[in-house]
Chain A
């Protein structure tokens, strides 16, 4: 056991050091990523102005802006740039042979390296994030009593949903990448996934805005846990019993995708013929 922990620790440390090489580019890039939110803030201000500033889908203007800022946080946890395409490339080029001949589990190794990547990312990104949230602190003043700013229980649920969104995001993308065992080229599939992720995860707008039956459909698929759900929890939009149920559903999705990716990996290895490399 201690040997295994030592292995994990080494993997984690190597990946951390690798990541921190480009920290200047990192920090600038993170700050840039907030720029589209500036236009969103102005857009929604104009919309609320035209409506006579009544609440929209249960959100006040301030809550709208807070929502967008919070989805940036959830996406900082759940987004896995290059994970699926990396896995497919490794399968195609035969690079995954290195996991097969070494006593290292591929999914575990990738998970740890993502974990290290995220830690490195947060340690740099916390600066730009803190700056933006500080500048926008006014939008968080009038939140209801259920919001994470007032209720420790909501704050805990928010933290739990964020951690799970990381794990869910990882195993969901890993499952997509493992399709590479069956199809050699999955880039068009990944584009479709990105498209769905962009519009259905709540990255563009709070899903509460949708009319039925769309609302029910969007609720049933796991993508909402990648952006919408943690933000909605923070703002106190998910109440009492629903909160507990939804967290359990999120957990169930996490377990499902862990199981699915393990299963796909096992089955894929049987087909794998190790070209190239």
Chain B
């Protein structure tokens, strides 16, 4: 029954945000167009790269449309994170600094839930639909190519969505964990930037991190800070199901589940520990 109540609170948050967005409709449309343009610029950049090379990485199998599947997965994950969590987590450190967190603590509901989902940024969802368009086009191109066409099965699609949500959960955990530390540090602008730069590593296929410097990087961003599995695992399920080293993919997929659970539990623990040290600022 408690789950139902949380769902109802969430739906109220979602409706209120939508009402607010619709009050400033022109602004909403401008913001949607802006994030769409940003996405188109990126797409143009990658299209330009593929006019100069057939693949990213030798024998990696990341050709243009395989990579576009990867790119649309990045768009899905990022737009979901931005829609539901980004603005809230961004505001969290501000709430700590100003003492506004008191009001969240007083509510008879889980604090992490209120903090994380209070405001929903509907305009970021536009990239989710743009990503869906790009995904459908790329999958179509891959399945009609003459040599080695791709067959997409319902199982693959189901797994794809499950792992995409795992990716969202991992990024969310990193964000909330990092911003909870601002209870101890006071101000953490650089830390927040740091989060931005770390996710930068999730944007490309993990094969590119090879060699003396690449291997340790890949290790760190897979096992210590699991941002590499965020996009790589779901994208691989759809774009490269028939890679010869599928046993590696299997263990990577199993690891992604472990990483998701661990990140969620870890960030929850950090969040609760940080709350214990919260001393309300003047309000």
Which residues on the B side are within 8 Å of A28 (C-beta)? 190
Alpha-carbon distance A210/B44, docked complex (angstroms): 11
Alpha-carbon distance A210/B48, docked complex (angstroms): 7
**Which range contains the number of A residues in contact with the other chain?**
20 to 34
The reply on A220 being an interface residue by CB < 8 A is no
Which residues on the A side are within 8 Å of B197 (C-beta)? 32, 35-36
Most chain A beta carbons < 10 A, residue from B30, B52, B209, B214: B52
Segment among A38-46, A71-79, A166-174 that sits at the interface with chain B: A38-46
> Chain B: interface secondary structure?
helix
The reply on B58 being an interface residue by CB < 8 A is yes
Segment among B130-138, B154-162, B199-207, B230-238 that sits at the interface with chain A: B199-207
The reply on B277 being an interface residue by CB < 8 A is no
A46 and B52: CB pair below 8 A? Answer: no
Segment among A97-105, A141-149, A191-199, A226-234 that sits at the interface with chain B: A191-199
The reply on A49 being an interface residue by CB < 8 A is yes
Expressed in whole angstroms, the minimum distance between the Cβ of A157 and any Cβ of chain B is: 28
B51 and A195: CB pair below 8 A? Answer: no
Alpha-carbon distance A50/B59, docked complex (angstroms): 8
Which residues on the A side are within 8 Å of B34 (C-beta)? 188, 191-192, 195
The reply on A57 being an interface residue by CB < 8 A is yes
A209 and B52: CB pair below 8 A? Answer: yes
The reply on B149 being an interface residue by CB < 8 A is no
The reply on A15 being an interface residue by CB < 8 A is no
Report the tally of A-B residue pairs with Cβ distances under 8 A: 78
A50 and B41: CB pair below 8 A? Answer: no
Q: Which residue of B lies closest to A57 (CB)?
A: B52
Expressed in whole angstroms, the minimum distance between the Cβ of B66 and any Cβ of chain A is: 12
Alpha-carbon distance A38/B48, docked complex (angstroms): 20
Alpha-carbon distance A74/B200, docked complex (angstroms): 22
Expressed in whole angstroms, the minimum distance between the Cβ of A209 and any Cβ of chain B is: 6
B204 and A39: CB pair below 8 A? Answer: yes
Q: Name the contact of A43 in the complex, choosing from B48, B52, B56 (C-beta under 8 A).
A: B56
Known contacts A36-B200, A191-B34; decide if A42 and B214 are in contact (CB<8 Å): yes
Per-residue CB proximity of A208-247 to B under 8 Å, as 1/0? 0111000000000000000000000000000000000000
Can you identify 23 A-B contacts, CB atoms within 8 angstroms?
A: A25-B190, A38-B217, A39-B201, A39-B203, A39-B204, A39-B208, A42-B217, A43-B208, A49-B58, A50-B53, A50-B56, A50-B60, A56-B52, A57-B52, A188-B34, A192-B34, A192-B37, A195-B41, A198-B41, A199-B44, A204-B45, A209-B48, A210-B48
Ranked 9 nearest A-B pairs via Cβ: A46-B57, A50-B55, A46-B208, A35-B197, A42-B208, A49-B58, A199-B41, A47-B53, A51-B53
Known: A35-B197, A50-B60. 18 other contacts (CB 8 A): A32-B197, A39-B204, A42-B208, A42-B217, A43-B204, A43-B208, A45-B208, A45-B211, A46-B56, A46-B60, A49-B58, A50-B58, A188-B34, A195-B38, A195-B41, A198-B41, A199-B44, A205-B45
